[in-house]
Amino acid sequence: MSALVARLPEGIAETRTAIQAWLRDAEHADRVNARVVDKLVVALPRELDANARRELVRDFCESVTAGRMAYVGAIHDKGEDAENPHAHVMLRDRDLETGKRVLQTTERGSTERLREA
């Protein structure tokens, strides 16, 4: 991973350890059979520099989540990934303030809605 972009609940640091702990806590807080996050892999243009890619991933995540959900985007664009820049994005389908579902990612048509976005 060469860069990380995230919107996390207040008090959660943008470090791997803190994010993993937060996800573990979220998993325990939800129902036993609930999906905690949805994961996407997003291709990024090679023509963009590292800063532009970071902004693109941030803008995409902010748009999809309407600024209401937590997300983490890990950008891979160095070394072996230099010719295939991409981002692994995790979306937590819970409103940061209310805890209610936002995207309805387990509902019919959610994949098509995300692809369109």
Residue 38 has pLDDT above 90, yes or no: no
Range of the domain at 52: 3-116
- Please report, in angstroms and rounded to a whole number, the separation of the first and last CA atoms in the chain: 24
Confidence of residue 110 (pLDDT cuts 50, 70, 90): confident
Q: Name 30's Cβ contacts closer than 8 Å, sequence gap at least 6.
A: 36
Q: How many domains does the chain have?
A: 1
pLDDT at 84: 92
Cα(11)–Cα(105) distance, rounded to whole angstroms? 26
pLDDT per residue as tens digits for the range 55-64: 999 999 999 8
- Is the pTM for the entire model greater than 0.85? no
